[in-house]
C-alpha cells in the first residue's frame, strides 16, 4: 500500500530578501589554486592549467568549432558549426580511420552571428544510418577545407548510460580573484579561461570513470554572458565563452544534449552553435536562443523544454507531440533549466518556480518519470511528486516577487504538489515524478542551500566542488548516481526506479 502524504497548504513565511537578486557566493573553482582534495586522476586527466593558459589566445577566438548533438534517434547524429563562408555544410563519415568508403552528408548553411565585425554562417548537418556499437570517424568541411578527423563511438541501446551536468556557465567566475595571481579580479575573458579549463577537467574525469556513455545532458546555462544590452562587445564576450565551452576534446566525440538556460536565452548563439533534433518551432513565446526539442534513444524519450518561455501551452504542445511520436516509450525524461522543485537559496522559492503551478499538471498528465533541472547551482533530489488536482494561480515573469504580499500568495499557490512516495534507494512502480537539480559542473559559481529545506526534498547538498551525475537505463530500470568530479565520491545514495509492468 502506497503512502500518500498531502502537503500542508500553509502560507509560507516570507523571509528577508524575498525576490531580490542574490549574488554568487565567495566559493568558486579557482584553477590557479588546485586544492589538495582533487585526486591525481582528476588532475592528470586533462591539459594542465599552464598549457590551457598558453593555448587560450587561440582557443578564445576559435568560433568555428564543431558541436555534436543527438539526432532524432540513435541512428542519427547532428552536427553544428560556425564558418566564415557559406555553402560548405558537409560532413564525411567512415568506419575506417583512413576515411575509406566515407559517406558524405550535406545540410544547411545560413547567416548567423556577427562576431567582432565578421559575419559568421551557421552550418547544420544530420548524419543518418548509424549502427550501434560501431567506431566511426568524421570530418567537417570548414570554409572549403576538410578538417582533421575525429572519432565517434556509437553505443548500444538495450542498456545505456548518459552523463548529466548542470550550469557549466563558462565565464561566471568573472570578478573573482584567483588565489595565485597578482590580486586582480578576473575579467570576463579570464573567467572564461578559468571555467572552460575546469569544464575540460570535469568532462575528462567523468569520461575516464564512465567511458561508455552515449551522450552528455546539460541542464542549461552553458555560458554566462547574457548580452542583455545587445552590444557587439558583450556578444564577443559570449562567443569567447562558447569557444571555451566547445573546446574540450571530448565534445568532438560525445554528443551533448543542451538546454536553454536564462544566460543562454537572449541571443541566437545557442541555436547557431547547437543543431538540436526536432526543434519545436511552433512555440509562440520562443526566446532568441530558439526552441525546445525531443529525441528518442533506445526505449527512452527525452524532451527538453525552454522554460525561459513562460507560455506553458507551448511546453504542453511540445510534450504532447513528443509523447505521440513515441507512444511506447518505457522512460519519459524531461529536462529544463529553472528548478521548479529544487532547494537552492537563489531560485527555489522565487523565479525558479514561476512555472511550477502550470508545469506540474502537465508532467502528471504525460506521466513523466524523471525531471532534470539546473539553475540553482546546488544538488537536490525530491521524493516522488504529483500535483494536488486543485486549481492554482498561473504565473509568468511579470510576477512582482519583491512585493511581500504578492510573494506570500505566490508561495501559497505553489503548494500545488503531493508527496506520493517517501522511499529512498530503489522504488518499484512508483506514482509521480522525481525531480533532480544539478550543481555546477565547472564550479564557476555556487549558491547556498535555502535555509529551510522544503518538505518535497529527499536529499540535497552543496559540496562547493563540481559534480556530475550518471544515468543508467535499461528495459526495466532507471538509475541515477551523482559524484563529486574531483574525487569520484558519490554525494548522494543511488536512486533507482524499477518498472515491472
Q: Shortest Cβ distance from residue 457 to Fe ion (Å)?
A: 19
Separation of first and last alpha carbons in the chain: 17
For the beta carbon of residue 270, count every other beta carbon within 10 angstroms: 26
As a whole number of angstroms, the distance between CA 51 and CA 201 comes to 13
| C-alpha closest to that of 71 among 290, 287, 220, 274 | 274
Does residue 349 interact with Fe ion by CB under 5 A? no
Taking the least distance from each CB to Fe ion, the nearer of 83 and 438 is: 438
Taking the least distance from each CB to Fe ion, the nearer of 167 and 237 is: 167
Please list the residues that pair with 427 across neighbouring strands.
Answer: 497
CA dihedral 173, 176, 180, 181 (to 10 degrees): 100
Q: Shortest Cβ distance from residue 195 to Fe ion (Å)?
A: 12
DSSP state of 290: B
Does residue 74 interact with Fe ion by CB under 5 A? no
Does residue 376 interact with Fe ion by CB under 5 A? no
Taking the least distance from each CB to Fe ion, the nearer of 170 and 480 is: 170
C-alpha count within 13 angstroms, C-beta hemisphere, residue 73: 13
Q: Shortest Cβ distance from residue 310 to Fe ion (Å)?
A: 18
As a whole number of angstroms, the distance between CA 31 and CA 185 comes to 14
Taking the least distance from each CB to Fe ion, the nearer of 19 and 352 is: 352
Lookup result for grid cell 545560413: 110
Lookup result for grid cell 500568495: 409
Contact 261, 209 (CB under 8 A): no
Lookup result for grid cell 530500470: 477
As a whole number of angstroms, the distance between CA 151 and CA 247 comes to 16
Q: Shortest Cβ distance from residue 460 to Fe ion (Å)?
A: 17
Q: Shortest Cβ distance from residue 220 to Fe ion (Å)?
A: 7
Taking the least distance from each CB to Fe ion, the nearer of 122 and 307 is: 307
Q: Shortest Cβ distance from residue 141 to Fe ion (Å)?
A: 34
Contact 256, 67 (CB under 8 A): yes
Taking the least distance from each CB to Fe ion, the nearer of 432 and 443 is: 443
Q: Shortest Cβ distance from residue 374 to Fe ion (Å)?
A: 6
Minimal CB distance to Fe ion: which residue? 221
Which residues, in sequence order, are CB contacts of 483 under 8 Å at separation 6+?
206, 209, 467, 468, 469, 470, 489, 490, 491
| C-alpha closest to that of 246 among 48, 443, 63 | 63
* 21-29, 96-104, 165-173, 321-329 -> range binding Fe ion (CB under 5 A): 165-173
Does residue 364 interact with Fe ion by CB under 5 A? no
* 44-52, 116-124, 137-145, 169-177 -> range binding Fe ion (CB under 5 A): 169-177
Taking the least distance from each CB to Fe ion, the nearer of 221 and 339 is: 221
Q: Shortest Cβ distance from residue 321 to Fe ion (Å)?
A: 28
Radius of gyration of the CA atoms of the chain, in A: 22
As a whole number of angstroms, the distance between CA 202 and CA 465 comes to 10
Taking the least distance from each CB to Fe ion, the nearer of 94 and 444 is: 444
Taking the least distance from each CB to Fe ion, the nearer of 124 and 337 is: 337
Q: Shortest Cβ distance from residue 168 to Fe ion (Å)?
A: 9
* Binds Fe ion (CB under 5 A): choice among 74, 167, 195, 369: 167
Does residue 169 interact with Fe ion by CB under 5 A? yes
Residues 208-227 interacting with Fe ion (rule: CB under 5 A): 221
Binders of Fe ion: how many residues, by CB under 5 A? 3
Which residues would be at the binding site for Fe ion (CB under 5 A)? Answer: 167, 169, 221
Amino acid at each position: 500500500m502506497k503512502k500518500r502524504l498531502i502537503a500542508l497548504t500553509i502560507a509560507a513565511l516570507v523571509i528577508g530578501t524575498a525576490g531580490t537578486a542574490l549574488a554568487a557566493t565567495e566559493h568558486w573553482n579557482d584553477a590557479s589554486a588546485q586544492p589538495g582534495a582533487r585526486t591525481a586522476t582528476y588532475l592528470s586527466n586533462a591539459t594542465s592549467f599552464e598549457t590551457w593558459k598558453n593555448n587560450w589566445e587561440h582557443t578564445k577566438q576559435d568560433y568555428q568549432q564543431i558541436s555534436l548533438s543527438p539526432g532524432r534517434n540513435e541512428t542519427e547524429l547532428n552536427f553544428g558549426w560556425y564558418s566564415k563562408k557559406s555553402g560548405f555544410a558537409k560532413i564525411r563519415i567512415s568506419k575506417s580511420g583512413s576515411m575509406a568508403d566515407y559517406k558524405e552528408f550535406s545540410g544547411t548553411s545560413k547567416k548567423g552571428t556577427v562576431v567582432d565585425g565578421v559575419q559568421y554562417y551557421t552550418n547544420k548537418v544530420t548524419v543518418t544510418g548509424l549502427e550501434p556499437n560501431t567506431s566511426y570517424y568524421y570530418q567537417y568541411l570548414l570554409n572549403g577545407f576538410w578538417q582533421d578527423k575525429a572519432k565517434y563511438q556509437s553505443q548500444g541501446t538495450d542498456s545505456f548510460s548518459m552523463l548529466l551536468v548542470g550550469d557549466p556557465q563558462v565565464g561566471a567566475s568573472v570578478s573573482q580573484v584567483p588565489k595565485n595571481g597578482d590580486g586582480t579580479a578576473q575579467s570576463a575573458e579570464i573567467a572564461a579561461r578559468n571555467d572552460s579549463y575546469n569544464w575540460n577537467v570535469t568532462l575528462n574525469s567523468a569520461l575516464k570513470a564512465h567511458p561508455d556513455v552515449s551522450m552528455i545532458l546539460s541542464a542549461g546555462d552553458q555560458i554566462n554572458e547574457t548580452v542583455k544590452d545587445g552590444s557587439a562587445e558583450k556578444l564577443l564576450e559570449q562567443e569567447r565563452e562558447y569557444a571555451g565551452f566547445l573546446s574540450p576534446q571530448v565534445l568532438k566525440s560525445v554528443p551533448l544534449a543542451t538546454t536553454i538556460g536564462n544566460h543562454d536565452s537572449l541571443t541566437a548563439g545557442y541555436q547557431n552553435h547547437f543543431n538540436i533534433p526536432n526543434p519545436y518551432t511552433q512555440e509562440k513565446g520562443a526566446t532568441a536562443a530558439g526552441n525546445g526539442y525531443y529525441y528518442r534513444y533506445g526505449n527512452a524519450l527525452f524532451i527538453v523544454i525552454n522554460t525561459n518561455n513562460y507560455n506553458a501551452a507551448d511546453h504542453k504542445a511540445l510534450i504532447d507531440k513528443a509523447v505521440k511520436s513515441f507512444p511506447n516509450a518505457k522512460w519519459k525524461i524531461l529536462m529544463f533549466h529553472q528548478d521548479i522543485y529544487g532547494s537552492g537559496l537563489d531560485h527555489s522559492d522565487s523565479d525558479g518556480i514561476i512555472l511550477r503551478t502550470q508545469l506540474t499538471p502537465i508532467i502528471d498528465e504525460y506521466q513523466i518519470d524523471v525531471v532534470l533541472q539546473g539553475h540553482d547551482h546546488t544538488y537536490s533530489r525530491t521524493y516522488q511528486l504529483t500535483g494536488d488536482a486543485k486549481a492554482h494561480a498561473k504565473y509568468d515573469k511579470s510576477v512582482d516577487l519583491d512585493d511581500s504580499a504578492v510573494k506570500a500568495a505566490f508561495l501559497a499557490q505553489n503548494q500545488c504538489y503531493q508527496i506520493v512516495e517517501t522511499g529512498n534507494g530503489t522504488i518499484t512502480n512508483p506514482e509521480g515524478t522525481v525531480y533532480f537539480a544539478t550543481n555546477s559542473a565547472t564550479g564557476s559559481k555556487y549558491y547556498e542551500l535555502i535555509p529551510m529545506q522544503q518538505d518535497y526534498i529527499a536529499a540535497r547538498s552543496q559540496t562547493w566542488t563540481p559534480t556530475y551525475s550518471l544515468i543508467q537505463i535499461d528495459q526495466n530500470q532507471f538509475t541515477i548516481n551523482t559524484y563529486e568530479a574531483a574525487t569520484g565520491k558519490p554525494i548522494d545514495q543511488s536512486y533507482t526506479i524499477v518498472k515491472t509492468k
